[in-house]
């Protein structure tokens, strides 16, 4: 068995050593999932299909976060986006279901112009990204658990404590406001 592995890992052979390029394969796979389903979310004729495309995008992006060593952000992404925002969106789709509106009767010209605008912006961004030297380290850091560092940064009075508390108050105010706005009026 080990002789077989030696045989497979010898670089002079024509057989590609897949363990060496596994990060690349995973990256391109997850990126394809994220971008492909984002396009489905942007262009699917039915809104419910767009919502499910968005779910696949969230999972693909969470996997990319995990590959970037951001374990806490990856799981927050799944819990908050898939467990919270996406459920809200699906509720919104269901509560506002109308046959012609939920079929998304976009004008063909509008859609074509939007796709051209998006494609042009993407070309400009790729050109700009390729032509820029970013002031970052040459090699990424070693992946290590980030939860403790994030918790300490959020509760550090010298660090992010005040923004963290402000975000908490903002979330509370937004949710109370949303509950107030979304209530059904009996007297109307």
Partner 1 sequence: MTLLLAIGLNEYLVVGAALFCAGLVAVLSRRNAVAILIGIELMLNAANVNLVAFDHWRPGQIQGQLFALFVLVIAAAEAAVALALILNVFDTSDRIDVDEIDTLKG
- Which residues from 90-149 bind partner 1, rule CB under 8 A? 91-93, 95-96, 98, 101-102, 104-106, 110-111, 113-115, 117-119, 121-122, 125-126, 129-130, 134, 136-137, 139-142, 146, 149
Radius of gyration of the chain (CA): 23
Told to check if 13 binds partner 1 by CB under 8 A, we report no
Quote helix, strand, coil % in the chain, to nearest 5: 70, 0, 30
Q: Helix, strand, or coil here: 143?
A: coil
- Whether 50 contacts 37, CB under 8 Å: no
- Whether 108 contacts 73, CB under 8 Å: no
Toward partner 1, which CB reaches closer, 12 or 110? 110
Cβ of residue 157: shortest distance to partner 1, in angstroms?
Answer: 15
Could you say which of 10, 145, 165, 177 contacts partner 1 (CB under 8 A)? 177
Told to check if 3 binds partner 1 by CB under 8 A, we report no
CA dihedral 42, 43, 47, 51 (to 10 degrees): -40
Alpha carbon distance 8, 142 (integer Å): 28
Told to check if 162 binds partner 1 by CB under 8 A, we report no
- First-residue to last-residue Cα distance in the chain: 77
Toward partner 1, which CB reaches closer, 3 or 129? 129
Interactions with partner 1, residue window 49-88 (CB under 8 A): 50-51, 54, 57-58, 61, 64-65, 68-70, 72-73, 76-77, 80-81, 84-85, 88
Toward partner 1, which CB reaches closer, 4 or 181? 181
């Amino acid at each position: 068995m080990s002789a077989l592995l030696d045989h497979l890992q010898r670089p002079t052979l024509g057989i590609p050593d897949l363990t060496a390029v596994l990060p690349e394969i995973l990256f391109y796979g997850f990126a394809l999932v994220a971008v492909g389903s984002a396009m489905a979310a942007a262009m699917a004729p039915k809104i419910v299909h767009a919502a499910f495309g968005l779910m696949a995008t969230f999972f693909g992006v969470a996997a990319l976060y995990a590959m970037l060593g951001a374990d806490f952000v990856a799981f927050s992404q799944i819990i908050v986006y898939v467990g919270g925002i996406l459920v809200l969106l699906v509720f919104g789709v269901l509560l506002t279901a109308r046959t012609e509106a939920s079929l998304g009767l976009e004008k063909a010209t509008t859609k074509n112009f939007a796709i051209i605008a998006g494609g042009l912006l993407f070309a400009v961004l790729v050109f700009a990204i390729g032509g820029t030297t970013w002031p970052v380290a040459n090699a990424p850091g070693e992946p290590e658990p980030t939860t403790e560092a994030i918790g300490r940064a959020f509760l550090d009075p010298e660090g992010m404590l005040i923004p963290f508390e402000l975000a908490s108050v903002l979330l509370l105010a937004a949710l109370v406001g949303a509950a107030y706005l979304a209530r059904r009026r009996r007297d109307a």
